[in-house]
């Protein structure tokens, strides 16, 4: 879920280095909602220090780099905040464009672990400077990204293990088939004679 | 062989197929290394990286070249020809992301030479024509997230002996200048991912993908539609200094003449803006002056 909060909300969030983030809904009505999870704050600046205010932002997931998972604009400080789907680990890409200048920022997001689901277990703050032009720089800060390595699939087997397993399966089927197959009467050449 | 044996063998073969299919999910198949760990994405990540597709590289002078524009100092500029000499155009798949504006080294895991040497006219075609197709080659599937090219002096054709040759007309307040600018600044550009309305360079097996070498001529002349204080204008030469050295209604100069006739500041600015021409869409490039 994407949240693109106003200026006052960004800086406190950027300052957080760990823990879940509860964001109040930006609503004039009575409905108040919040989200708890990992947030990424992207801060896009020209190298003059001027923010890339109202710049176009497109977020791409690791498994679909062609279709934006999320689009929006930076706020007046050049900040854009979103919550990546923790079920999609890998390199998330954030494209920021304004007035013919742009940059794609790659943000590695680790797979959630059993322990990282608890806020206290989430990893620390990451930051990266991203030049947007010879005279421009965007900065991204990924917050509360789990610091553990991506989860490995339990199905990952070495080739030896895999083919050993396949061989055992084949042998099991063949053996079972022979066991249950009806036996032909043993011919007795002597009896036939 | 007895029927039950055939059934057993058939079942075993089926199990082998299933096992192999699952196992192939363990191999990351795109440049997002962790995609194989993503739940329920095996089909998405499995298709690419096996086999080959068609990789195209295009050259684009943008609307500034095709449609003309007004410079920062009010000159209405139109181009008849914009010859660019290109060589060693290579597309790369890199290990992880490549950011050309850092000290990061390009670490290709796959490179494809698309163009050896070619001179192209960026003004060719109608105003709404597609960017110029330089070449297309068969290439291994994958994510091409970096592009390199050099701009040497052309060895033949109308722009022989020059890197860039701009032919066109500039008009302001009734004054017309027919210009031919022969520019000899040899450059090498190493660029990252394309930045624009669509993603480029994602080549699937049996598919077609393209990359684009983009040239921002507004960097040289500025853009009247942009804010005068925008860096695109504050850093641009504009056309006024060029009009000032025209002979009547004609300006036909090469770099040596420009260096001699322009002020040192204007000449230095021209050199800087020429160097900044190369982009990948709106994405920027590392550059090396080869002159």
Residues B40 and B141 in one domain: no
The domain that contains A109 carries what CATH number? 2.60.40
Instruction: Compute the nearest-CA separation of B148 from chain A (Å).
Output: 17
ipTM at complex level: 0.73
pLDDT in tens, A62-106: 999 999 999 999 999 999 999 999 899 999 999 999 888 888 998
Tokens standing for B162? 């020059």
Q: What angle do CA B280, B286, B291 make, to 5 degrees?
A: 110
Q: Span B194-208, mean pLDDT?
A: 95
A18 belongs to a structural domain: yes
pLDDT in tens, B8-41: 555 554 444 433 333 333 322 223 223 333 333 3
Instruction: Quickly list DSSP for chain B.
Output: --HHHHHHHHHHHHHHHHHHHHHGGGS--SSSGGGGGSTT-HHHHHSTTSSEEEEEEEEE-HHHHHH-EE-TTS-EEEEEEEEEEEEEEEEEEESS---TTSSPPP-EEEEEEEEEEEEEETT-S-TTPPPEEEEEEEEESEE--EEEEEE--BSSSTTBT-SEEEEEEEEETTEEEEEEEEE---EEEEE-S-BSSS---EEPTT-EEEEEEEE-THHHH--TTS-TTSHHHHT---SHHHHHT-BTTEEEEEHHHHHHHS-HHHHHHHHHHHHTTEEBBTB-EEEEE--
**How many domains, in total, are found in chain A?**
1
Q: Tell me the pTM.
A: 0.68
Cβ-Cβ contacts under 8 Å between A and B: the total is: 142
Instruction: Compute the nearest-CA separation of B249 from chain A (Å).
Output: 33
A11 belongs to a structural domain: yes
Query: Mean pLDDT for chain B?
Result: 85
Query: How many percent of chain A have pLDDT more than 90?
Result: 26
- Full residue range of the structural domain in which residue B250 is found: 52-289
Q: Is A24 on the interface with B (CB under 8 A)?
A: no
**How many domains, in total, are found in chain B?**
2
Token pair 């006024």: residue = B240
Distance separating alpha carbons of residues B72 and B75, to the nearest angstrom: 7
Q: Is A166 on the interface with B (CB under 8 A)?
A: yes
For residue A162, how many other CB atoms are within 10 A of its CB?
18
Distance separating alpha carbons of residues B287 and B291, to the nearest angstrom: 12
SS3 A42: strand
A182 belongs to a structural domain: no
DSSP state at residue A37 = S
Phi, psi at residue A54, to the nearest 5°?
60, 30
Residues B229 and B158 in one domain: yes
Residues B34 and B69 in one domain: no
A159 belongs to a structural domain: no
pLDDT in tens, A32-43: 666 666 789 999
DSSP state at residue A183 = P
Residue A31: band (very low, low, confident or very high) from pLDDT cuts 50, 70, 90: low
For residue A124, how many other CB atoms are within 10 A of its CB?
12
Q: Is A76 on the interface with B (CB under 8 A)?
A: no
pLDDT in tens, B92-146: 999 877 888 888 888 899 999 999 999 999 999 888 889 999 999 999 999 999 9
- Full residue range of the structural domain in which residue A36 is found: 7-142
A170 belongs to a structural domain: no
Residue B207 pLDDT exceeds 90: yes
Instruction: Compute the nearest-CA separation of B144 from chain A (Å).
Output: 12
A86 belongs to a structural domain: yes
Q: Span B184-208, mean pLDDT?
A: 95
Q: Is A160 on the interface with B (CB under 8 A)?
A: no
Q: Is A162 on the interface with B (CB under 8 A)?
A: yes
SS3 A128: strand
């Amino acid at each position: 879920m994407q949240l693109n909060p106003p200026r006052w909300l960004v800086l406190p969030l950027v300052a957080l280095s760990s823990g879940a983030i509860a964001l109040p809904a930006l609503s004039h009505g009575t409905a108040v909602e919040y989200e708890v999870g990992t947030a990424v704050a992207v801060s896009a600046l020209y190298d003059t220090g001027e923010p890339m205010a109202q710049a176009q932002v497109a977020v791409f997931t690791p498994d679909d780099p062609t279709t934006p998972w999320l689009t929006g604009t930076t706020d007046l400080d050049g900040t854009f905040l979103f919550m990546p789907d923790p079920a999609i680990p890998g390199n998330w890409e954030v494209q920021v464009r304004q007035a013919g200048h742009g940059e794609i920022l790659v943000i590695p997001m680790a797979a959630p672990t059993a322990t990282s689901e608890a806020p206290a277990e989430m990893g620390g703050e990451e930051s990266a400077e991203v030049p947007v032009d010879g005279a421009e720089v965007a900065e991204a800060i990924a917050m509360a990204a789990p610091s553990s390595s991506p989860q490995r699939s339990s199905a990952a087997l070495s080739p030896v293990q895999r083919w050993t397993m396949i061989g055992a399966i084949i042998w099991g089927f063949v053996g079972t088939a022979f066991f249950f197959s009806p036996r032909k009467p043993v011919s007795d050449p002597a009896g036939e004679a | 062989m007895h029927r039950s044996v055939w059934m057993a063998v058939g079942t075993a073969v089926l199990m082998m197929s299933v096992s192999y299919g699952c196992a192939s999910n363990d191999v990351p198949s795109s440049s997002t290394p962790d995609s194989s760990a993503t739940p329920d994405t095996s089909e998405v990540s499995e298709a690419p990286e096996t086999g080959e597709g068609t990789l195209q590289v295009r050259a684009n002078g943008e609307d500034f070249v095709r449609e003309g524009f007004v410079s920062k100092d009010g000159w209405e500029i139109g181009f008849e020809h914009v010859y660019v000499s290109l060589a060693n155009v290579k597309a790369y798949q890199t290990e992880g992301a490549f950011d050309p504006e850092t000290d990061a080294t390009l670490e290709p895991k796959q490179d494809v030479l698309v163009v050896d040497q070619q001179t192209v006219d960026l003004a060719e075609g109608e105003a709404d024509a597609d960017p110029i197709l330089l070449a297309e080659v068969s290439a291994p599937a994958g994510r091409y997230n970096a592009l390199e090219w050099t701009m040497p002096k052309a060895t033949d054709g109308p722009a022989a002996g020059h890197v860039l040759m701009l032919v066109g007309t500039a008009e302001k307040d009734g004054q017309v200048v027919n210009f031919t600018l022969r520019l000899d600044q040899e450059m090498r550009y190493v660029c990252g991912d394309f930045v624009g309305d669509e993603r480029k360079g994602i080549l699937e097996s049996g598919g077609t993908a393209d990359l684009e070498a983009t040239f921002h001529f507004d960097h040289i002349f500025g853009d009247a539609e942009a804010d005068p204080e925008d860096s695109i204008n504050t850093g641009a030469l504009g056309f006024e200094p060029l009009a000032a050295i025209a002979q009547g209604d004609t300006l036909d100069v090469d770099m040596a003449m420009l260096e001699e006739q322009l002020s040192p500041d204007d000449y230095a600015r021209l050199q800087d803006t020429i160097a900044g021409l190369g982009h990948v869409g709106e994405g920027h490039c590392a550059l090396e002056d080869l002159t």
